[in-house]
Amino acid sequence: MRSYQTGDSSTSFHYGFGISHAVKIIIFVNICVFILVHIGKRLGLGFEIILGLVPSFVLRRLMLWQLVTYLFVHIGLWHLVLNMLMFFFFGVPLEELWGRKAFLSFFFFTGIGAGVCSILVSTASGQGQVIVGLSGVIFGLLVAHAVLFPDSIILLFFLFPMKMKHAVWLFIGINILGMLSSPGSGVAYMAHLGGGLFGYLYFRFEWIRSVLSRTDLSSLKDKWRKHHRERNMRKRQDVEEKADRILDKISREGIHSLTKREREILDKRSRMK
């Protein structure tokens, strides 16, 4: 068990082997999507194109959901394993420190921010690779640890002890060098840097944290449920009105006068009852 401290040593918390709720759910979803993508490959279905981040699809076809879904897509097994380990090690302490709501806000803020940065760079350079994975969020988590616990020690590459504040700058340098020297390598360097940038912006500007703190995902879910109930109620009322008119027709002209569509409406009404 390792004890982390902030730069002013005023607070500390312990990093153990437990797993927090949001981190557990996110890892589970990533594993499920990984299995789905590979089953889809065997069946000739390109789920990675639909769920991964394809800049041209987002801009031209308005497939905006990809800015969220790409975070849960991994193609290679080692990519999945390493990302989930990193997400576990650096995500659990922050969720325990901040709480689930603030942690999820940071998760989606850095993840979507990393996607936006990738789209901007991809559009400018003309590259069209599919971007997948949690790497941008993980870089944001690294920046968060560097801000909150700059003097905490990590084992860089599991071998070299280094302070968190120094390790982040090393990671930034490696990614900038990789982006400049190997732009077509298939590694989403800009997603990494973008996640780190948005992680820094989260701490740099109070208004960002204020806006995110007022964004309640559970309230959005409640609004969707309310909308779903109202829509079902309108459908039910529409069926009832049509069925009443059909019953009037039966009383005037007899049941044999009904069309196939009118019979289907009566059947639907009986099922609703």
CA distance 165 to 175: 16
pTM of the model as a whole = 0.72
Residuewise pLDDT in 10s, the chain (273 residues)? 233 333 443 344 444 557 888 999 999 999 999 999 999 888 888 888 889 998 889 888 889 999 999 999 998 899 999 999 999 999 999 999 998 999 999 999 999 999 999 888 877 655 667 889 999 999 999 999 999 988 888 877 767 888 888 989 998 898 888 888 766 655 678 888 999 999 999 999 888 888 888 766 555 566 667 777 888 788 888 878 887 888 887 888 877 877 888 888 878 888 876
Q: Please state the domain extents for the chain.
A: 2-215, 222-272
The answer as to CATH 1.10.10.10 being correct for domain 2-215 is no
Evaluate whether 182 touches 124 at the Cβ level (below 8 Å).
no
Backbone angles phi, psi at 223, to 5 degrees: -65, -40
CA distance 46 to 28: 21
CA distance 82 to 84: 5
